[in-house]
Amino acid sequence: MSNILIIKHGSLGDIAQASGAIQDIFENHKNSQIYLLTTKPYFDLFKKNPFINEVILDKRLSRFNLLYLFSLMKKLKKLNFFKVYDLQNSSRTKFYKTILFPKSNLDTWSSSLTTLPQGIDKEQFDKKPVLERFEYQLKSSGLETKNTLKPDFSWSCSKIEHIKKKYDLNKYILLFPFCSPHLTAKKWPYYNELINLIKNKFKDEYKILVAPGPEEIDDAKKFNAVSVLNDQKSLNISELSSLIKESSFIVANDTGPAHMAAHLQAKGLTLFGSHTTAHKVSIERKYFKPIQVENLEKLGSEKVFEYLVNKI
């Protein structure tokens, strides 16, 4: 039995997007042992993935930390991998390739670099939608791809009956009004106006929820919505996945939870400004749609509310 390594460090949205590619790698190597190299935030999560046999932790310490680097590379080399699928495609994983397989080609190391279409550089290739890039990489590596373009992130879910009981949840609309402090261009400013419109229309038919991350708990108090926590802490990824999947509707900025929702087949929409396009990040699904505008400050709450009413 040969060993296969998949590399996927993060981020949260990227993990959800890569679910189909990981499944296809498994399906094409059913007689192999599938290992996955990832970082601490996703180490326990990936243990739940049915298409991975073993998860390896990469602490991603400095490249100048030679003791750590030597230890990690020694562990990886000992497993004598038949093939590596680099789904991170970063400068760090390129660096790992030079250590593990310095003279390798596509037969040993599958990445966007080793599978680049003729006449196209990586900068041009990276402008393509992310799922199309995964599909091209895997097909160029000789794999049949049935799931790459339609990731299913439902493997990440866990039971949340205790949380639903605590907050008396039945029908609920889940909002993600947050974003990273350095990515404020992604933040739509009218969530409280939307909340008021929903409550005026539906009264008590739906609860309005937010599910803040660890750094967003205080910020969540600004919204006229129920802040869902577990023992005063943010939900873990598996709990959040279930809360998203069981929701009646999602409205989100372009953040990790939006990508989770898209690939959990949740119903909802995500709001895009000029920072990128919904097409490039492959977020549009059958039930989960984007609204793309040049300036999020000019996207009124009435337009978002109208879409919600028509689709919920």
pLDDT tier, 179 (very low <50, low <70, confident <90, very high otherwise): confident
Domains of the chain: 3-150 (3.40.50.2000), 161-311 (3.40.50.2000)
pLDDT tier, 185 (very low <50, low <70, confident <90, very high otherwise): confident
H or E segment and range at residue 109: strand 109-110
DSSP of 142-209: T---SSTTS---GGG----HHHHHHTT-SSEEEEE----TT-GGG--S-HHHHHHHHHHHHTTSSEEE
Residue-wise pLDDT tens digits, 233-266: 999 999 999 999 999 999 999 999 999 999 999 9
pLDDT tier, 199 (very low <50, low <70, confident <90, very high otherwise): very high
Amino acid (one-letter) located at 125: F
CB neighbourhood size of 25 (10 A): 28
> Looking at beta carbons, which pairs linking 198-205 to residues 24 or more positions away fall under 8 Å?
198/173, 198/305, 198/308, 199/224, 201/305, 201/309, 205/171
Residue-wise pLDDT tens digits, 14-60: 999 999 999 999 999 999 999 999 999 999 999 999 999 999 999 99
pLDDT of residue 121: 86
pLDDT of residue 8: 98
Strand partners, 35: 5, 54
Residue-wise pLDDT tens digits, 165-178: 999 999 999 999 99
pLDDT of residue 180: 80
pLDDT at 275 over 90: no
